[in-house]
């Protein structure tokens, strides 16, 4: 079998030396080569047949379990091992070594890899530069206009596309979402207490920290449509646009975590999202950065904390003529501003004076710090996308058909609950209904 990532007939000396363990230490070198080749062929077959599943964080573990089980059964039949936990675990270790060896030489990129200070330079500046210029030239519809709503209605965004490969309930949810007429209220209704809003609020902070860490500059590109598959779209958090930096052309995807652990292993939906974004933009690398920000309970705690590498200030402004569903306006102190009280007070006063002229009122001052973060590199996996496209296209055809024929059979029926007060007012409270013509009263100092 010809392969760039299977050993030659003479086998690999380093690989042989690394697998001399109890079960095979008495085997000849030729026998070890045969066993190694067999395992690598099984790994390659699994990678080829199950590439669509590499989106799962458990992909490599599942592959190791599958190959180890197959090898264990074969070795039992050949009386090369005994049916004991020790022998099985030794085979698992052997297979793990071969998986590492395979991945080092395979043209299928690893699912993600840890960040290294030894950055590789961009392979071809001219090609990357042309791609960036093309992306910057793509016209963007003005947000919240009819054109903007129609544009987004006509595609599946990268952030939701993982549902294509999920459970039946998740697929149904996506189909219903894309079949329902656009409800503009969904784009204006929000709460500052949701994890989504928290993530959006701290996204600019993460960008500033990333730019500071890597001495780069991140640009925004809006929502981009796939040039070949118009039903696929993506809105990357940013792309490195500093042409003199080694990260030029590398995408950035940000997740600001609220209530889960940061492991450095991208969740399945996030891995799918980054792959779709790279395919849409025709770029080959994406830095996946997860951060956890916390806020100080007092101003004194902020100034007393001198241990944090990254901490800062966010000013929360609101419009003086506040309307329902008015979006908060945040102003972010640059991360390179000196953290002494005098300098920060001067910055706050300057921004406050500027915003006052824009009829904005300072509602709150937030003092934050970066509690933890992870940054891993996800490389474009063309093999996965080739396997995924037919499934995406199939679901989009269902959406197009059921927009005409009906999609109601996929909907989850929700009950509207009515709660009756027992006081003399005989008033009612109805939950799960959209608010209309509401007012919001805020007392400003």
Clarify whether residues 87 and 136 are in a common domain: no
Q: Which pLDDT score, from 0 to 100, does residue 430 have?
A: 47
Q: Which pLDDT score, from 0 to 100, does residue 417 have?
A: 60
Task: Report yes or no: 224 and 233 within 8 Å, Cβ to Cβ.
Answer: yes
Clarify whether residues 175 and 291 are in a common domain: yes
CA-nearest of 188, 215, 190, 210 to 201 is: 190
Q: At what angle do helices 29-49 and 85-105 cross, to 10 degrees?
A: 70
Helix and strand tally (H, E) in the chain?
12, 13
Q: Which pLDDT score, from 0 to 100, does residue 210 have?
A: 97
Clarify whether residues 163 and 303 are in a common domain: yes
Clarify whether residues 232 and 93 are in a common domain: no
Other beta carbons within 10 Å of 441: 5
Other beta carbons within 10 Å of 124: 9
Clarify whether residues 78 and 156 are in a common domain: no
Name 157's bridge partners. Answer: 233
Indicate whether 76 belongs to any domain. yes
Both tokens of 117, joined, read 């200070």
Q: Which pLDDT score, from 0 to 100, does residue 28 have?
A: 77
Give the residue from 397, 421, 439 where a domain finishes. Answer: 397
Indicate whether 326 belongs to any domain. yes
Helix, strand, coil tally for the chain in percent (to 5):
45, 15, 40
Task: Specify the residue for token string 């503009």.
Answer: 184
> Rounded to whole angstroms, how far apart are CA atoms 19 and 24?
8
Clarify whether residues 22 and 79 are in a common domain: yes
Indicate whether 433 belongs to any domain. no
Clarify whether residues 301 and 390 are in a common domain: yes
Rg for the chain, CA atoms, rounded: 27
Q: Which pLDDT score, from 0 to 100, does residue 2 have?
A: 38
Indicate whether 116 belongs to any domain. no
Give the residue from 43, 73, 108 where a domain finishes. Answer: 108
Clarify whether residues 136 and 100 are in a common domain: no
91 phi/psi in degrees, rounded to 5: -65, -40
CA-nearest of 91, 88, 6 to 45 is: 6
Q: Provide the residue range defining the domain that includes 232.
A: 125-397
Clarify whether residues 45 and 96 are in a common domain: yes
Query: What is the C-alpha end-to-end distance of the chain, expressed in Å?
Result: 77
Indicate whether 62 belongs to any domain. yes
pLDDT per residue over 195-239, tens digit each?
778 878 999 999 999 999 999 999 999 999 999 999 999 999 999
> Rounded to whole angstroms, how far apart are CA atoms 421 and 200?
37
pLDDT per residue over 408-438, tens digit each?
999 887 765 655 555 544 544 545 555 555 5
The CATH number for 189's domain is: 3.90.320.10
Sequence-distant (6+) residues with CB within 8 A of 94 are 19, 21, 23, 24, 39, 71
Other beta carbons within 10 Å of 164: 19
Clarify whether residues 91 and 137 are in a common domain: no
Indicate whether 118 belongs to any domain. no
Q: Which pLDDT score, from 0 to 100, does residue 1 have?
A: 34
Indicate whether 103 belongs to any domain. yes
Give the residue from 382, 397, 412 where a domain finishes. Answer: 397
DSSP summary character for residue 294: E
With a cut of 50, which residues of the chain have pLDDT below it? 1-10, 13-20, 424-425, 427-428, 430
Clarify whether residues 60 and 191 are in a common domain: no
Number of domains composing the chain: 2
Task: Specify the residue for token string 């940000």.
Answer: 254
Other beta carbons within 10 Å of 35: 20
Indicate whether 162 belongs to any domain. yes
Clarify whether residues 392 and 253 are in a common domain: yes
């Amino acid at each position: 079998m010809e392969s760039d990532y299977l050993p030659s007939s003479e086998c690999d000396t380093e690989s042989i030396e690394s697998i001399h363990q109890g079960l095979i230490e008495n085997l000849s070198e030729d026998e070890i080569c045969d066993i190694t080749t067999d395992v690598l062929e099984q790994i390659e077959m699994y990678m080829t047949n199950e590439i669509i599943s590499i989106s799962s964080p458990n992909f490599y573990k599942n592959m190791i379990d599958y190959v180890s089980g197959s090898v264990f059964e074969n070795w039992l039949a050949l009386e090369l091992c005994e049916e004991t936990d020790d022998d099985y675990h030794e085979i698992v270790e052997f297979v793990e070594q071969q998986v590492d060896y395979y991945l080092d030489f395979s043209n299928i990129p690893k699912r993600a890899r840890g960040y290294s200070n030894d950055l590789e330079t961009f392979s071809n500046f001219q090609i990357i530069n042309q791609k960036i210029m093309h992306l910057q030239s793509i016209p963007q519809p003005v947000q919240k206009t009819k054109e903007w709503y129609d544009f987004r209605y006509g595609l599946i965004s990268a952030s939701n596309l993982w549902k294509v490969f999920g459970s039946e309930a998740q697929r149904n949810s996506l189909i219903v979402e894309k079949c329902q007429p656009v409800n503009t209220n969904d784009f204006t209704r929000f709460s500052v207490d949701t994890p989504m809003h928290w993530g959006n609020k701290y996204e600019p902070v993460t960008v500033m920290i990333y730019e500071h860490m890597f001495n780069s500059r991140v640009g925004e590109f809006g929502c981009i449509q796939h040039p070949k598959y118009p039903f696929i779209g993506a809105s990357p958090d940013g792309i490195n646009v500093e042409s003199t930096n080694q990260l030029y052309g590398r995408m950035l995807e940000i997740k600001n975590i609220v209530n889960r652990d940061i492991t450095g292993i991208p969740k399945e939906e996030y891995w799918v999202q980054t792959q779709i974004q790279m395919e849409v933009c025709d770029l080959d690398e994406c830095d996946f950065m997860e951060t956890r920000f916390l806020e100080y309970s007092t101003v004194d705690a902020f100034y007393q904390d001198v241990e944090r590498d990254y901490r800062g200030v966010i000013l929360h402004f609101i419009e003086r003529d506040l309307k329902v569903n008015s979006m908060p306006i945040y102003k972010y102190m640059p991360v390179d501003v000196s953290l002494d009280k005098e300098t920060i007070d001067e910055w706050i006063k300057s921004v406050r004076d500027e915003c006052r002229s824009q009829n904005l009122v300072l509602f709150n001052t937030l003092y934050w710090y970066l509690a933890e973060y992870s940054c891993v590199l996800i490389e474009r996996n063309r093999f996965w996308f080739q396997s995924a496209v037919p499934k995406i296209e199939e679901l989009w055809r269902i959406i197009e058909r059921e927009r005409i024929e009906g999609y109601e059979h996929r909907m989850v029926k929700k009950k509207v609950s009515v709660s009756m007060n027992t006081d003399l007012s005989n008033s009612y409270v109805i939950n799960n209904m959209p608010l209309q013509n509401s007012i919001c009263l805020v007392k400003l100092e």
